[in-house]
């Protein structure tokens, strides 16, 4: 059986996953920068940014910060720990500015009105197709600590999305 990721890679025209993620980023990032500017205030101001293709399950190139947007909820706990361990190897210690910035869903952090509950249920059904998991803070914490991280901060952002800062 072909996975959704294999299909997206093989047939970008019929399954424009990259376009959908680019649209989501164009919508979300102005909100992130406006409402949660402290997450990026210490980022370098020069234009020395490199984009490097790779495989998060193999290794991640050295960086001060690793940014993961809508990534971890697609994977089970063991795979998330593996990804985060690779991230941890790529960044310097916290006192040298190392951190991981995650934008993902934190269940239970949003208001519990009926629209959010319905959205959560529909999203949970979708995640079953990917073998992914939506997690509450305690489930995230378990993964973070198992991957060797010492501290984290969760900032609710927009609807079901939160920014998670993760520190070695």
pLDDT tens for 33-75 read: 665 556 455 555 666 666 666 789 998 989 888 989 888 988 8
Active-site residue, selected from the candidate residues 56, 60, 65, 73: 73
Query: Which of 125-134, 136-145, 155-164 bottoms out in mean pLDDT, i.e. has the lowest?
Result: 125-134
Work out the pLDDT band at 155, boundaries 50, 70, 90: confident
- For the question of residue 116 being annotated catalytic, the response is no
Q: Is the pLDDT of residue 146 over 70?
A: yes
The string of DSSP codes covering 64-108 is: SEEEEES-GGGS-HHHHHHHHHHHHHHS--GGGT-EEEEEEEEET
What mean pLDDT is predicted for residues 96-110? Answer: 84
CA–CA separation, 19 and 2 (whole Å) = 20
What mean pLDDT is predicted for residues 96-124? Answer: 72
- pLDDT the model gives residue 30: 65
CA–CA separation, 158 and 142 (whole Å) = 24
**What helix, strand, coil percent values describe the chain, rounded to 5?**
45, 20, 35
Domains of the chain: 63-167 (3.40.50.150)
Indicate the average pLDDT of the chain.
77
- pLDDT the model gives residue 35: 58
């Amino acid at each position: 059986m072909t996975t959704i990721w294999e299909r997206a890679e093989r047939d970008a025209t019929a399954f424009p996953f990259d376009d959908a993620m680019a649209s989501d980023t164009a919508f979300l990032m102005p909100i992130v920068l406006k409402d949660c500017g402290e997450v990026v205030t210490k980022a370098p101001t020069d234009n020395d940014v490199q984009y490097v293709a790779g495989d998060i399950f193999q290794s991640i190139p050295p960086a001060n910060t690793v940014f993961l947007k809508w990534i971890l909820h697609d994977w089970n706990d063991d795979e998330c720990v593996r990804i985060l361990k690779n991230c941890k190897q790529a960044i310097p210690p916290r006192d040298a500015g190392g951190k991981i910035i995650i934008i993902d869903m934190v269940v239970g952090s949003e208001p519990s009105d009926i629209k959010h509950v319905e959205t959560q249920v529909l999203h949970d059904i979708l995640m079953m197709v990917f073998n992914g998991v939506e997690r509450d803070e305690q489930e995230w914490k378990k993964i973070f600590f198992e991957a060797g991280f010492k501290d984290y901060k969760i900032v609710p952002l927009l609807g079901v999305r939160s920014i998670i800062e993760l520190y070695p």
